[in-house]
Amino acid sequence: MSDLFNSSLRQLAATLTARKISAVELATLFLDRIDRLNPGLNAFIALDRDKTLAQARAADEKLNAGAGGTALTGIPLAHKDIFCTKGWRTSCGSKMLENFVSPYDAHVVEKLAGAGMVTLGKLNMDEFAMGSSNETSHFGPVKNPWDVSRVPGGSSGGSAAAIAARLAPAATGTDTGGSIRQPAALCGLTGLKPTYGAVSRYGMIAFASSLDQAGPMAKSAEDCALLLNAMAGFDPRDSTSLERPTEDYARDLEKPLAGLRIGLPKEFFGDGMDADVRAAVDAALDEYRKLGAITVEVQLPNSGLSVPAYYVIAPAEASSNLSRFDGVRYGYRAPEYSDLAEMYSRSRAQGFGAEVKRRILIGTYVLSHGYYDAYYLKAQKIRRLIAADFQEAFKVCDVIMGPTSPSVAFAFGAKSADPVQMYLSDIYTISTNLAGLPGMSLPCGFGNNNMPVGLQIIGSWFGEAKMLNVAHQYQRVTDWHTRMPKESK
């Protein structure tokens, strides 16, 4: 039975297609496991057995008919609670949306359901995706299944913990500054943030629109490729969705890596990284050399500016996006107020948590009269310098590698008192969002206290198939991605 929980999506699909197990039975196994293990982890914040089993029954009908199924039909997955899911509470981790039942499906939700996947539930997250530890969720923090005294990372911490504990074989995540990759690293799984514009943002609650991108989180690169096949594609409802020919992201998985040029930015291998993380990343690079890859040093001289530039751009966009929460059309409304202005300001004061309010205030300030040029415009110019560095680097390499996170998962409370310390958790991931590049994290060993370490792969624009190839070849010769925490066995 535990084999099933640790199975790849391909193995699950084969078991389902051979009718050795039904989609209803498979969903029930996962739901029972969630009932047993979730109270200790707090990864799921909405469950609805009837809805899940109805979807599973529909998948079984397709599978029984022997036609109409896809590679994903009947496979369960769970959605980060940032994705609007029709008929499900969609809270975005906030009191503001505690009672919001979405009247429609996000594009990603629609596509994955259309592929026959079965929704197990909705996953906890940092409030409005603002956080790197899941401590900002209105519904309480998610625990890291490898050590429940430590954070799972954020903001897609519920997605990461659910997969790490094998409560779901796959999940959706979103990544604005590292929110797929950092929790994937801290929980020992594989996650991919696609090129900006590859996956529709329709129905994904907006944080920073020029940076937000949805992507798959799963155990392996192969699983991520199959999920991305179902998630990506043009959607006219997202004005930044790109019209490109349909791609099979799994097409290059089996290509050998001989001659692959891996760029190692010297800025990613400086003092900022903990020794245990460095050891695991170095060992992974050795493995790649054995596979025939060569490593070359590259420079990203402006990458050190990515965190401060991000903390101008992201809050600016957030302050604008979150102005829609006014207590009028949906969301929380304060119980007492004397006029309209007070209704707005009290609803927002009571409905948003501390970190969200901080970012709205910062964003409002950097966009306000007299400060726009000094902060916002300046940060946008630096954003171009950061993107240009990558363009230069990709002239001499095929992919870039480095650590995903400077440290393994930290203890609860370790960084929550100092916002800037928390922001620096994303020091290696933020630059790819600013440049719009695809990035992924895959497990590459264990560091201090037996906590997982993530290797980051950054690809050139639309380089997802290449990155998945590079990750898959590593996972063919290593087994880090199959390891699971003790309590989850």
Partner 1 sequence: MSLTLEDVARIALLSRIELSPAERESTRDQLNGILGFIEQLQAVNTTGIEPMAHAVDVVQRLRPDAVTETDRRADFQAVAPETEAGLYLVPRVVE
421-460 positions binding partner 1, by CB under 8 A = 423, 433-437
Q: How far is Cα 419 from Cα 421, in angstroms, rounded to an integer?
A: 6
As measured in angstroms, the least distance from the Cβ of 348 to partner 1 is 5
Does the protein bind partner 1 through residue 385 (CB under 8 A)?
A: yes
Could you write out the three-class secondary structure of 255-282?
CCCCCCEEEEEHHHHCCCCCHHHHHHHH
Asked if 341 touches partner 1 (CB under 8 A), the answer is yes
Note whether 183 and 153 are within 8 A (CB). yes
Kindly identify the residues of this chain, within the stretch 242-261, that bind partner 1 according to CB under 8 A.
Answer: 242
Tell me the residue type at 479: D
Residue 451 half-sphere exposure toward CB, CA atoms < 13 A: 26
One residue of 418, 448, 449, 482 binding partner 1 per CB under 8 A: 418
Nearest-5° Cα angle at 125, 448 to 133: 30
Nearer to partner 1, 135 or 222 (CB): 135
CB 69 within 8 A of CB 62: yes
* Position among 387, 408, 409, 465 found at the interface with partner 1 (CB under 8 A): 387
Q: Which stretch binds partner 1 (CB under 8 A): 62-70, 171-179, 190-198, 473-481?
A: 190-198
Both tokens of 364, joined, read 């409002």
381 binds partner 1 (CB under 8 A): yes
- Does position 269 bind partner 1 by CB under 8 A? no
Of residues 338, 370, 479, 489, which one binds partner 1 by CB under 8 A? 338
What is the DSSP pairing of strand 261-265 with strand 399-403? parallel
Closer of 188 and 194 to partner 1 (Cβ)? 194
39 binds partner 1 (CB under 8 A): no
179 is annotated as an active-site residue:
yes
The sign of the torsion formed by the CA atoms of 110, 116, 121, 125 equals: negative
Question: Nearest approach, Cβ of 476 to partner 1 (angstroms)?
Answer: 32
Residue 458's DSSP bridge partners are 400, 439
Asked if residue 106 binds partner 1 (CB under 8 A), the reply is no
Q: How crowded is residue 368: how many other Cβ atoms within 10 Å of its Cβ? A: 12
364 part of the interface to partner 1, by CB under 8 A: yes
H helix or E strand, kind and range, residue 111? helix 107-114
365 touching partner 1, by CB under 8 A: yes
CB of 419 to partner 1, least distance (A): 6
Smallest distance from partner 1 to CB 330, Å? 5
Catalytic pick from 7, 51, 80, 132? Answer: 80
Q: Rounded to an integer, what distance in angstroms lies between the CA atom of residue 229 and that of residue 72?
A: 10
Cβ proximity to partner 1, 10 vs 86, nearer residue: 86
**Which two structure tokens, joined as six digits, stand for 159?**
């997605």
Q: What CA–CA distance (Å, rounded) separates 54 from 114? A: 14
Q: How far is the CB of 440 from partner 1 (least distance, A)?
A: 17
* Candidate ranges 42-50, 280-288, 322-330, 467-475; the one touching partner 1 (CB under 8 A): 322-330
Give the count of beta carbons closer than 10 Å to the beta carbon of residue 327.
20
- Which of 91, 132, 144, 319 is close enough to bind partner 1 by CB under 8 A? 319
Per CB under 8 A, the list member of 71, 148, 305, 414 interacting with partner 1 is 305
With CB under 8 A as the contact rule, the residue among 278, 358, 476, 483 that binds partner 1 is: 358
Q: Do 406 and 418 contact (CB within 8 A), yes or no?
A: no
Q: Candidates 56-64, 180-188, 286-294, 419-427 — which segment interacts with partner 1 by CB under 8 A?
A: 419-427
Residue among 137, 148, 165, 168 nearest 47 (CA): 168
Our finding on whether 312 is near partner 1 (CB under 8 A) is yes
The span from the CA of 16 to the CA of 23, in Å, is 7
Q: Is 80 a catalytic residue?
A: yes
